[in-house]
Chain A
Amino acid sequence: MKRLLIISIFLLAAGFVFAQQSTEVGSPDADRIGIDAAQQLLKEVSVDKFEKDGYWKSTMSPDDGYVTTRLFAGGPLGKEPLKDEEGLDIPDKYVLGSRVDFIHRGYTSFTLYPIRPIPIEGITKTVSVWVVGRNYNHELKLLLEDFFGRPYELYIGKLNFQGWKKLTVAIPPQAEDGVNGIVQRNYHYNNQLGLKITGFRIDVDPWEAYGSYYIYLDDLRAVTDLFAEDSRDPDDMLDAW
């Protein structure tokens, strides 16, 4: 009996090690999300590095407080460069910082948004962003629009950690009928697939919604299936006229 117990503990531990090798603990596995085509070409792409001044804005109810947003030089040390971008010398100097000054405690939220929605090429599987946490119980949500321009919000995670951390959220696959859910595919055009990022919302914990709160974001990325875009013919005409 004792021997059986020891063997089963070993097997369980081995299982954990295997699970950790396949994917980072707690993050969704892009390979397994919404497989509805025979072929996939998953690629991690950069959506925004937060390098452009004035591109991201912020807003909150003036009854609850005021929010200021700007860029700061810096970035997470743990960030790994994208393989496709190595040697291209793409600037990655800044992070996006927001400061919220609360007027009073309460159930409130503030939104960080790009002045125009940011399109992601291909069929997006996961979206990740580096965030500085100050160990608050606030919650981060991703705001997006699907192919039809319908707004959605996805829960990314709580901000109850210290320093930089990469947070990842899985995009739920669209329904079989191609109409319901977060729709990403248009069968007419293979270069106009996908989502648009419309911002982040931070729902603040009312117990901690006082004084000043700071949040920093960097390196918004997506893992996306570029099979349809990649198999587009180079001699195909551009519908840009």
Chain B
Amino acid sequence: MKQGSFRVLSLAMGLILMAGIAVFSAFGDENTVDYAAIVIDTFDGNTNHEWTVGSKTYSYDFIWKLDASKFATKTEDDAFPKLTYVPSWPMAVFGANRDGKDLKSIGIWGKFDRRGYNWVDLYPATGEGDDQEAFEIPIPGRISYLDMWVWGANLNYYLEAYVRDYNGVVHNIYVGNIGFQGWKNMRVAVPNNIRQSKRILPRLAGLTFVKFRIWTTPLERVDNFYVYIDQFKVLTDTFESLYDGDELADPERVQEFWANN
């Protein structure tokens, strides 16, 4: 091989290599992740929920409420399901709580008149009295996992989590069967078919958390049951690539810019 043609070949190889690097760096976002674990609620009874991700602090005020399907037991004196906060917690997370913190978990007490696919919803809500309405928790970033601790009484029920995408479509994610004894960590990956980014800026199209739902199954007893939930957490990818003018795609900044119009 002539020396000149070797130079041409190495130049061509170098160009191909550089083009390859340029292509990969342009699509580099696909592989860049910055996971953050956010505790959405510890169920200690506070209405204010605040979490910090990167330099931003998110603060929401909401309480938890219950709703149930048609055959929930209602008598003259009582109506089920009921909700309360109990001073108990998963030892695996908080240990014996030697510091004496005010730890609690949320409890659901349910009764149904008929067996079958009955359900109990646990959902966030805001407002006071008659103005109270359901509130969907906006979760920062792109969610990878939902994680919570559940106390089960070995009943053959199962748990679902509901999230809403940017199109307004609600997806129900099967979290798992709660037929176990005592506290157990339940973790579920958010499926990739739930879209969390879009073509139009801002690209991030985060999910909002709608509710938890507990389903009873037809062969299981439903006359009296208790379920407790604690330490609701998400693992979310908060990385957003920078580009010239990304400030103009930040919804909060855009609000500020257009506030006086």
Residue numbers of A with Cβ under 8 A of B are 52-54, 68-71, 115-117, 119, 191-192, 238-241
Residue numbers of B with Cβ under 8 A of A are 70, 73, 111-117, 119, 121, 162, 164, 167-172, 210-211, 215, 221-224
Q: Which residues of A contact B169 (CB under 8 A)?
A: 68-70
Q: Which residues of A contact B111 (CB under 8 A)?
A: 240
In the complex, what distance in Å separates the CA atom of A71 from the CA atom of B170?
9
Q: Which residues of A contact B116 (CB under 8 A)?
A: 119
Closest to B67 in A: A52
Q: Is the CB of A54 within 8 A of B221?
A: no
In the complex, what distance in Å separates the CA atom of A119 from the CA atom of B70?
10
Q: Is the CB of B170 within 8 A of A240?
A: no
Q: Per a CB cutoff under 8 Å, which of B73, B117, B171 touches A116?
A: B117
Contacts A68-B167, A70-B167: A240 and B172 contacting too (C-beta < 8 A)? no
Q: Which residues of B contact A115 (CB under 8 A)?
A: 172
Q: List 22 A-B contacts (CB under 8 A).
A: A53-B164, A53-B211, A54-B162, A54-B170, A54-B210, A68-B169, A71-B168, A116-B119, A116-B215, A117-B117, A119-B116, A191-B114, A192-B114, A238-B113, A239-B114, A239-B115, A240-B112, A240-B114, A240-B221, A241-B221, A241-B223, A241-B224
Q: Is the CB of A238 within 8 A of B223?
A: yes
Closest to B211 in A: A53
Closest to A72 in B: B168
Closest to B164 in A: A53
The residue among A54, A70, A119, A192 with the most chain B CB atoms within 10 A of its own CB is: A54
Nearest CB of A to B112, in Å: 6
Nearest CB of A to B149, in Å: 23
Q: Which residues of A contact B211 (CB under 8 A)?
A: 53
- List of 10 A-B pairs having minimum Cβ-Cβ separation, nearest first: A54-B170, A116-B117, A53-B170, A241-B223, A240-B223, A54-B172, A70-B169, A54-B162, A70-B168, A241-B221
Closest to A240 in B: B223
Given contacts A70-B169, A71-B170, 19 further A-B contacts (CB under 8 A): A53-B170, A53-B211, A54-B170, A54-B172, A54-B210, A69-B169, A70-B167, A70-B168, A71-B168, A191-B113, A191-B114, A238-B223, A240-B113, A240-B115, A240-B221, A240-B222, A240-B223, A241-B221, A241-B224
Nearest CB of B to A119, in Å: 7
Contacts A240-B222, A241-B223: A53 and B162 contacting too (C-beta < 8 A)? yes
Q: Which residues of B contact A54 (CB under 8 A)?
A: 162, 170-172, 210
In the complex, what distance in Å separates the CA atom of A241 from the CA atom of B225?
10
Nearest CB of B to A148, in Å: 14
Closest to B160 in A: A54
Nearest CB of A to B236, in Å: 21
Q: Which residues of B contact A53 (CB under 8 A)?
A: 162, 164, 170, 210-211
Q: Which residues of B contact A191 (CB under 8 A)?
A: 113-114
